[in-house]
């Protein structure tokens, strides 16, 4: 499953002056109240002047048709301006536009490029999507080890889909030594985080394991979660 475009308006602000901040906040308050016409009025001049938060939020508005006719090409324009300033959420969203061909010709290599830039900044959705691209060989050569790398980084940030997919990689030995105990651990964690299917797969793999191995996997899952995903494994 690919992570889709985030639609929440950003609360982050890297604004250059109190006046700019005031105008941005007016737009934010209007957007939160559903008054997107006012938000557009406040944000567009800021975006045109180079404010990255305003650029990103205009991208969100055009992407989703909030107060404006939905226009993917216009969304791409604003995402790109923010992405080129290093804004990770915009880089991620621009990657999704290229992956699905929304507002631009579909281009998996460009999607990977933008996902990577966001993933390297720690954007969890980009890390997951980059793992999927490597897992399936979309825009890159298929590479299980790279997929494992990015699944793990996303999983350690609490992404339940990455946790499940990491378990699958361990269960089948894709990009890593086959390990039912590690697979059970990650399935268990994903299940605890709300993925019901992961719980079913955990129970299936448990049928192939000894009681001691299951108890070890359960203890590892508890330690992983209690440590905030800093101690996950042997």
Listed residue (60, 57, 69) closest to 97, CA to CA: 60
Domain annotation covers residue 196:
yes
Listed residue (183, 154, 152, 156) closest to 167, CA to CA: 183
Q: Position of tokens 């997951």? A: 128
Alpha carbons 12 and 184: distance in angstroms, whole number: 38
Question: What's residue 41's pLDDT?
Answer: 87
Tell me the per-residue pLDDT of 105-136, one tens digit each, with 9 for 90 and over: 999 999 999 999 999 999 999 999 999 999 99
Tell me the per-residue pLDDT of 30-41, one tens digit each, with 9 for 90 and over: 888 888 888 888
Query: Do 135 and 147 touch, CB atoms closer than 8 A?
Result: yes
Across 23-47, average pLDDT? 85
Q: How many domains does the chain have?
A: 1
Domain annotation covers residue 163:
yes
Alpha carbons 51 and 154: distance in angstroms, whole number: 29
Domain annotation covers residue 169:
yes
| Residue 220 pLDDT exceeds 80 | yes
Domain span at 148: 144-234
| Residue 12 pLDDT exceeds 80 | no
Domain annotation covers residue 29:
no
Alpha carbons 42 and 51: distance in angstroms, whole number: 12
**CA diameter of the chain:** 65
Instruction: Output the CA–CA distances (angstroms, integers) from residue 50 to 27, 44, 59, 104, 192, in the order listed.
Output: 16, 10, 13, 22, 43
Band of residue 81 on the pLDDT scale cut at 50, 70, 90: very high
| Residue 8 pLDDT exceeds 80 | no
Alpha carbons 223 and 18: distance in angstroms, whole number: 45
> What does the DSSP 8-state code read for residue 1?
-
Mean pLDDT of the chain: 91
* Predicted TM-score of the model (pTM): 0.89
Tell me the per-residue pLDDT of 162-179, one tens digit each, with 9 for 90 and over: 999 999 999 999 999 999
Domain annotation covers residue 161:
yes
Domain annotation covers residue 42:
no
Domain annotation covers residue 203:
yes
Q: What tokens does 71 get?
A: 């226009």
Tell me the per-residue pLDDT of 60-75, one tens digit each, with 9 for 90 and over: 999 999 999 999 999 9
Domain annotation covers residue 184:
yes
Q: Position of tokens 């350690």? A: 156
Q: Please indicate whether residue 4 or residue 73 has the higher confidence score (pLDDT).
A: 73
Which residues neighbour 24 within 8 Å (Cβ) at sequence distance 6 or greater?
A: 13, 15, 42, 43, 46, 51, 53, 54
Which residues neighbour 76 within 8 Å (Cβ) at sequence distance 6 or greater?
A: 59, 94, 97, 102, 103, 104
Burial class (CB in 10 A: 0-12, 13-18, 19+), 174: middle
């Amino acid at each position: 499953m690919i992570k889709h475009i985030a639609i929440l308006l950003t609360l982050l602000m890297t604004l250059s002056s109190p006046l700019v901040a005031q105008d941005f906040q007016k737009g934010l308050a209007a957007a939160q109240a559903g008054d997107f016409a006012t938000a557009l009025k406040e944000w567009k001049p800021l975006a045109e002047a180079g404010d990255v938060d305003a650029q990103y939020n205009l991208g969100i508005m055009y992407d989703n048709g909030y107060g404006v006719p939905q226009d993917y090409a216009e969304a791409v324009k604003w995402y790109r301006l923010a992405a080129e300033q290093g804004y990770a959420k915009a880089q991620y969203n621009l990657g999704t536009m290229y992956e699905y061909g929304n507002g631009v010709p579909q281009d998996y290599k460009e999607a990977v490029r933008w996902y990577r830039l966001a993933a390297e900044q720690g954007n969890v959705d980009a890390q997951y999507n980059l793992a999927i691209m490597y897992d399936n060989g979309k825009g890159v050569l298929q590479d299980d080890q790279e997929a494992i790398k990015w699944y793990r980084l996303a999983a350690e940030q609490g992404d339940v889909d990455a946790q499940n997919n990491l378990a699958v990689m361990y269960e089948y030995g894709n990009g890593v030594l086959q390990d039912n105990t590690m697979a059970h651990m990650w399935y268990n964690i994903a299940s605890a985080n709300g993925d019901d299917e992961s719980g079913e797969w955990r129970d299936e793999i448990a049928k192939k394991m000894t009681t001691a191995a299951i108890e070890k996997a359960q203890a590892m899952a508890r330690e992983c979660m209690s440590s905030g995903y800093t101690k996950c494994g042997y």
